[in-house]
């Protein structure tokens, strides 16, 4: 649900278009608001939003529209609503890293505190009143940390509780202590609780990676463990543990080429153990496709048709990750799920390309058919057409165009025809 409540900053955000000021907000510059706050003895409140952020829109519709919230804002603040992409310098000044971010500004122009993500009217008012009373997010984090630490007493070998404690330490700015707890979880958590193994290779590593953005020793700790696991894999030592560790750590560190180098070395030396191959091949598939090493990928991947079928089945069977019955929230989660399905379909196009490039035309056609049935959108047809062109299979690309012309709605066919023009004529 967290992803639906906070929009992270994208790599390339859509063009922001400033709309009219809505609700309780003042139409003035930041400097004008600061002057007004000094005159009236209030604080400046800034709702940093973007035009593409769905939680921001929900904040507008629910929280800012609430009469109690509007009355409190009018009494205590000079409220501004600022498009963070139009006012990037101001957003940077207040360290805005996700949307929406609601910043409280003191009379000297410095940040008093910030609330990140969507909050309903009741929660917003509680947090806002706490902030003006001096119980800022730092104070709340310290209180939560103390409560979590107290709950940990007697459960020191429970990796989930220690991971939770580590997160509270990180939120409170105690980075060194947080890293120590996280590393205990990575190094010993699965020994204490075998069921922790899945969390260890996913959520835990994500937490350490995020900590590394603020505290570089966290990334160095991951690199050290990656190097150790990699050396063990190359030596053929305890592959059941070290192969998953190596691949997961390289994924977290954004260094899949290290996985590719290990794959190539073991393959060349004919030492590519099945367990290691299974771990590596899914990680390095994009790199093998990029290098047009289609035959290697298809040979080592096993039953590609079955793999694609299982991946699609998994997405289809995943329920909406919320029990929230609010129509707006359900709509947001459905949109998020649709985006994930689109992303997964695009990712699976790499396997279609590999099959074509390896000459497995019948299997490729079956995979393409399952992908477009899974997400019957012009964008997926276009992506698959480009996959076919890269694989040197223009006939397969043309077959996709013909299928799209028959099955896509009229309003999507322009995108299909643009993709068709990218198919070589000879």
Q: Which residues contact 76 (CB under 8 A, 6 or more apart)?
A: 42, 43, 128, 132
7 included as an active-site residue: no
Q: Cis bond leading into 345, ω under 30°?
A: no
Q: Which two tokens stand for residue 228?
A: 């150790």
Q: How far apart are CA 295 and CA 392, in angstroms?
A: 14
Pairing of strands 43-49, 101-105: antiparallel
Q: How far apart are CA 371 and CA 352, in angstroms?
A: 9
Determine what percent of the chain falls in helix, strand and coil, rounding each to the nearest 5.
Answer: 70, 5, 25
Burial of 98 (0-12, 13-18, 19+ CB in 10 A): middle
Give SS3 for 116: strand
DSSP calls for 264-308: HHHHHTT---HHHHHHHHHHHHHHHHHTT-HHHHHHHH--HHHHH
Q: Are 165 and 148 in contact (CB under 8 A)?
A: yes
**Residue owning tokens 């006939």:** 395
- In the set 53, 78, 82, 416, the catalytic residue is 53
Q: How far apart are CA 95 and CA 386, in angstroms?
A: 39
185 included as an active-site residue: no
Distances (CA, A) of 101 to 50, 59, 105: 10, 11, 12
Burial of 214 (0-12, 13-18, 19+ CB in 10 A): exposed
Q: How far apart are CA 346 and CA 351, in angstroms?
A: 10
- In the set 7, 46, 56, 341, the catalytic residue is 56
The residues carrying an active-site annotation are 53, 56
């Amino acid at each position: 649900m967290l992803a639906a409540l906070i929009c992270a900053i994208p790599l390339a955000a859509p063009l922001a278009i400033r709309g009219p000021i809505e609700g309780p907000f003042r139409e003035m510059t930041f400097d004008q608001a600061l002057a007004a706050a000094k005159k009236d003895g209030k604080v400046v409140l800034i709702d940093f939003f973007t035009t593409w952020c769905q939680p921001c829109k929900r904040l507008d519709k629910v929280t800012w529209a609430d009469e109690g919230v509007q009355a409190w804002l009018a009494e205590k603040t000079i409220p501004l609503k600022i498009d963070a992409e139009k006012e990037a310098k101001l957003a940077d000044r207040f360290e805005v890293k996700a949307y929406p971010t609601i910043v409280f500004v003191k009379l000297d122009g410095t940040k008093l505190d910030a609330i990140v993500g969507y909050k309903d009217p009741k929660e917003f008012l509680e947090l806002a009143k706490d902030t003006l009373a001096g119980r800022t997010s730092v104070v709340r984090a310290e209180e939560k940390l103390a409560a979590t630490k107290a709950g940990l007493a007697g459960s020191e070998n429970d990796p989930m509780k220690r991971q939770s404690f580590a997160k509270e330490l990180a939120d409170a700015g105690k980075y060194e202590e947080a890293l120590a707890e996280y590393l205990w979880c990575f190094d010993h958590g699965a020994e204490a609780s075998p069921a922790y193994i899945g969390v260890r290779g996913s959520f835990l590593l994500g937490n350490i990676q995020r900590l590394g953005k603020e505290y570089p020793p966290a990334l160095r700790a991951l690199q050290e463990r990656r190097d150790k696991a990699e050396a063990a894999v190359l030596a053929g030592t305890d592959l059941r543990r070290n192969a998953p560790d190596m691949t997961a750590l390289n994924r977290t560190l954004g260094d899949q080429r290290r996985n590719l180098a290990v794959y190539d070395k073991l393959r060349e030396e004919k030492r590519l153990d099945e367990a290691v191959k299974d771990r590596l091949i899914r990680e390095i598939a994009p790199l093998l496709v990029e290098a047009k090493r289609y035959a290697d990928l298809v040979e080592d991947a096993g039953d590609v048709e079955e793999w694609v079928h299982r991946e699609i089945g998994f997405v289809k069977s995943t329920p909406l990750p919320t029990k929230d019955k609010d129509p707006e929230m359900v709509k947001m989660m459905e949109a998020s799920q649709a985006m994930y399905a689109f992303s997964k379909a695009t990712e699976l196009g790499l396997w279609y390309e590999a099959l074509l490039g390896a000459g497995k035309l019948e299997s490729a056609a079956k995979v393409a058919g399952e992908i477009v049935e899974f997400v019957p959108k012009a964008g997926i047809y276009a992506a698959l057409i480009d996959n076919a062109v890269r694989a040197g299979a223009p006939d397969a690309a043309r077959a996709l165009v013909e299928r799209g012309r028959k099955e896509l709605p009229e309003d999507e066919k322009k995108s299909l025809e643009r993709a068709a023009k990218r198919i070589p004529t000879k």
